[in-house]
Structure 1
Amino acid sequence: MATFSSLTRPISESSLIALKLGDQSPNSLGFPKHFVFSRHGFCSFPPGLVHIQLKPSLAIKNSYQTESSTESTVLSSEVPILSCSEAIERLRTSRETYKSKEQYLAMYSSVFGGITTDPSAMVIPMDDHMVHRGHGVFDTAAIMDGYLYELDQHLDRFIRSATTAKIKLPFDRDSIRRILIQTVSASKCRKGSLRYWLSAGPGDFQLSSSGCHQSALYAIVIQNQSPPDYSGIRVVTSSIPIKPPQFAVMKSVNYLPNALSKMEAEENGAYAAIWLDFDGFIAEGPNMNVAFVTKEKELLMPEFDKILSGCTARRALVLAESLVREGILQNIRVDKVTVEEGKNAVEMMLIGSGVLIRSVVQWDEQVIGDGKEGPVSKALLKLILEDMKLGPASVRVPVPY
């Protein structure tokens, strides 16, 4: 939470902002005569003009900022007016000042109708309704050894989400598919991920998308520099309310509940937080599905009617049939799952395109099984990785580099 200790005194005495009547310096902000700052907002003020002198030596820090990031937010006394080329150059320089575990290798935008490999040009318009209204959907497909894994399955869900969000496709499905493949080809990436968005499009800052002249398609190829980690993890129960089913089954860009849920987990030393649905049954994680192995060797996964239908989770259900044939599993069931069933399971795992299969060894204070990665989790992870590298044409789309 932001710290406003400096405002406990009258604002005119605060070291943050100094009120100076009649000060016409270029660094002061003028407000109409009927406005003045108070601790709780605005109130009336006697006739005249109030100017607020900004002191660039002080910044307000919230609880998520580090000391170094706070220093970078110090106010500047002069704000330059930049040309287009100057703005792009500053954006390029800004990107070079911080390190990221992810590299952005190529981006397609229907707004400028092409692909760029320059990260500083990978931008979208501010008046795009996906930016200021959250009116957009997205999906992701993994890139493995020069193949797109489950592209068609993800693309089908992408189009279903767009229909639910009332966003018309700017191109037909085949054209979108071709654009996505070409974007990966331009990136030269052979192992990474392809994320793509469909927005209501740019046009204005109104609430309705009626002013948007056409929907917009964006896609970006991401290469993560971090080595994969499949070790066991701890999860907690999320206190952030799950999205209603109408929105939970759609992969939209409205991910604030998901982000807050993930942050809550990290604040408690856990990897992810598990959502329960409005009836108290186990639902899903912030961006992954969840599954269990019961004492009877049954693979148990929550129903998809109120949560996102995970492409990786559904593929895992198919691949798990081989474990039934081998006797490692006795049965596979998709059903309502109680918290008691989940916490008493011998195995628990998270499933998604980002984590693939990740064993959960503790949920809240409850140790799952023997507190180690389970054999079914390990076997499913092996099957998924083999499927990504050697699976049938139905799940592997070659990229023509």
Structure 2
Amino acid sequence: MASLPKPISHVYSQHVFTDHWHNSFIISQNLSFSRHGSFKEMRIVRGSKQNEALADFNNQICDVPILSCSEAIERLKINRENWEGNQQFLAMYSSIFGGIITDPAAMVIPIDDHMVHRGHGVFDTAAIMDGHLYELDQHLDRIIRSASMSKIGLPFDRERIKKILIQTVSASKCRSGSLRYWLSVGPGDFQLSPSGCHRSALYAIVIQDQSPFSSKGIKVITSSVPIKPPQFATVKSVNYLPNVLSKMEAEESGAFAAIWLDNDGFIAEGPNMNVGFITKEMELLMPRFDKILSGCTAKRVLTLAEQMVREGKLSKIRVGNVTVEEGKKAEEMMLIGSGILVRPVLQWDEQLIGDGKEGPVAQALLDLIMEDMRSGPHTVRVPVPY
């Protein structure tokens, strides 16, 4: 009887149950059979490296806790306390919550929101200056247009959305910063189609940024990242991966931003700003908006620049196709957007722009837009009732 093979059940319990399923993949490699095809013995052979790997795996499983809602929120608070940066998040509105939140740890979006996992959402931004929202109506018109082009229904009518945004800024107590807001097709499931979403959602957040607007000249490069086709470039959606990669490409080259060219080779835009030029004839020249995002700040600069035409500081204003040769031979080049206002460009690729120094027109346009933000007409400044 001593020569008989051990019962398989005995060997299995001895070698497998003690290690559970982690060892099951090794079993088939260590079976020994008799001449008649019966099991002779079952042995599990494991090297020291395998032991270490399995020990690490076991430890990793043991280190992952199952959290309650209150524990998860507490960890969010701790993580927020350890984050450092120039931006502070002062208030958030969520139509999912149906209210305004002032604790950054609770400023979250459901993971099944299709804006999160499908990119089916649009957004816009309005600056906060001296207790006023700058160009709120213009930005609001654009996000509603973007939502329509993206087939996102509005959760509320336009006037209700405007009141919510103003109230969110009021709750934040922020007097200088920015308001960013999103319209999403909403949460519901993880399918591609939004047919399972309950209803569209509105989110807004008030950001206080300590970084001042700068008039220091910068360098740009030509982007090698493909530009989005006009159907998508003209919509301010959350699908910003090409923009992000373009910005990263510039930073890796020691530049501030990368400039996109359209499919016909004309100058298009930067990753999140428009481009403007001052020609040798003292024209303010900007690329057409039919293939790129219609910049609210850029359009306001065009309006304010009319004053400089009247004063004889500019000969005229022109919007049209701009070649790379025209751009690089310009007297001045500038980037224009709500995050930077007007920023002079001193070098594009290896080509110096003008004399390679900050030009007077870019500075004058920056002064005009700053003055407009502080004391412009009611059509561009909405007071916040704190």
Q: What's the TM-score once normalised by structure 1's chain length?
A: 0.84
Q: Is the 8 A contact 1:104 1:220 kept in 2?
A: yes
- Residue 278 of structure 1 aligns with which residue? 263
Equivalent position amino acid for 1:251 in 2? K
Aligned to 1:361, what secondary structure does the other structure show?
A: strand
Distance 1:29 1:334, change over 3 A: farther
**Deviation of residue 226 (structure 1)?**
2.3
Instruction: State the secondary structure of the residue aligned to 1:154.
Output: helix
State the distance in 2 between where 1:258 and 1:130 align.
17
Please identify, of 195-204 and 91-100, the stretch whose mean Cα deviation from structure 2 is larger: 91-100
What are the equivalent positions in structure 2 for 1:176-215 lying under 5 Å apart?
176-215=161-200
Alignment partner of 1:333 is 2:318: yes
Change (3 A) 1:32 1:146: farther
Q: What SS is found at the alignment partner of 2:96? A: coil
Identity of aligned residues (%): 73
Partner of 2:70: 85
Is 1:236 matched with 2:221? Answer: yes
**Structure 2 counterpart of 1:345:** 330
Measured in 2, the distance between the counterparts of 1:131 and 1:326 equals 49
Report if the CA contact (8 A) 2:133-2:381 is conserved. yes
After superposition, residues 21-40 of structure 1 pair within 5 angstroms as: 22=16, 25=19
- 1:370 is matched by which residue type in structure 2? D
Whether the aligned pair in 1 keeps the contact of 2:219 and 2:257 (CA below 8 Å) is yes
More helix by share: 2
Looking at structure 2, the residues matched to 397 and 133 of structure 1 have their Cα atoms a distance apart, in angstroms, of 34
Q: How many residues align?
A: 351
> SS of the residue aligned with 1:320?
helix
Q: Take 1:96 and 1:285, find their aligned partners in 2: how far apart are those partners? A: 34
* Match of residue 102 from structure 1: 87
The match for 1:313 among 298, 319, 322 is 298
Where does 1:107-126 land on structure 2 (aligned, <5 Å)? Answer: 107-126=92-111
Q: CA RMSD in A?
A: 2.4
Runs of 4+ that moved beyond 4 A? 21-34, 50-57, 74-77
Q: For residue 184 of structure 1, what is the amino acid of its counterpart? A: V
What is the aligned counterpart of 1:137 among 94, 110, 122?
A: 122
Structure 2 vs 1, CA of residues 31 and 307 (structure 1 numbering), >3 Å: closer, same or farther?
A: farther
Q: Is the 8 A contact 2:333 2:353 kept in 1?
A: yes
Ranges in structure 1 where 5+ consecutive residues have no aligned partner:
1-20, 35-47, 58-73
Q: Does the CA-based 8 Å contact 2:183-2:201 persist in structure 1?
A: yes
Could you say which residue in structure 2 is the equivalent of 1:368? 353
Question: Among residues 275, 278, 284, which one is paired with 1:299 in the alignment?
Answer: 284
Any stretches of 5+ residues in structure 2 without a counterpart? 1-14, 29-43
Tell me: CA distance 1:94–1:328, structure 2 relative to 1, closer, same or farther (3 Å).
same
Q: Counterparts of 1:225 and 1:256 in 2: how far apart (Å)? A: 26
For residues 300-348 of structure 1, the C-alpha deviation after alignment (integer angstroms, 9 at most, x for no partner) is 0000000000000000000000111111100100000000000000000
Partner Cα separation in structure 2 for residue 54 and residue 149 of structure 1: 59
C-alpha separation in 2, matches of 1:385 and 1:30: 69
Task: Give 2:159's aligned residue.
Answer: 174
Which amino acid is the alignment partner of residue 105 of structure 1? L
1:78, distance to aligned residue in structure 2 (A): 1.5
Structure-2-length-normalised TM-score: 0.87
1:158-194 Cα deviation digits (max 9, x unpaired): 0000000000000000000000000000000000000
- Cα pair distance change 1:174/1:29, threshold 3 Å: farther
Structure 1 residue 227 displacement after superposition:
3.0
What is the distance in 1 between the residues matched to 2:126 and 2:25? 51
In 1, distance between residues paired with 2:343 and 2:26? 58
Mapped to 1, the partners of 2:24 and 2:295 lie a distance apart of 53
Given that residues 90 and 172 in structure 2 are in contact (C-alpha distance below 8 angstroms), is that contact kept between their aligned partners in structure 1? yes
Contact 1:141 1:148 in 2 (8 A): yes
- The change in CA–CA distance for 1:86 and 1:27 in structure 2 (over 3 A counts) is farther
Supply the distance in 2 between the matched residues of 1:244 and 1:348 (Cα, whole angstroms).
24
Whole-angstrom distance in 2 between the partners of 1:315 and 1:29: 68
Which of 253, 258, 268 aligns to 1:268? It is 253
Question: Displacement, 1:229?
Answer: 2.1
> Partners in 2 of 1:324 and 1:273 — Cα distance?
30
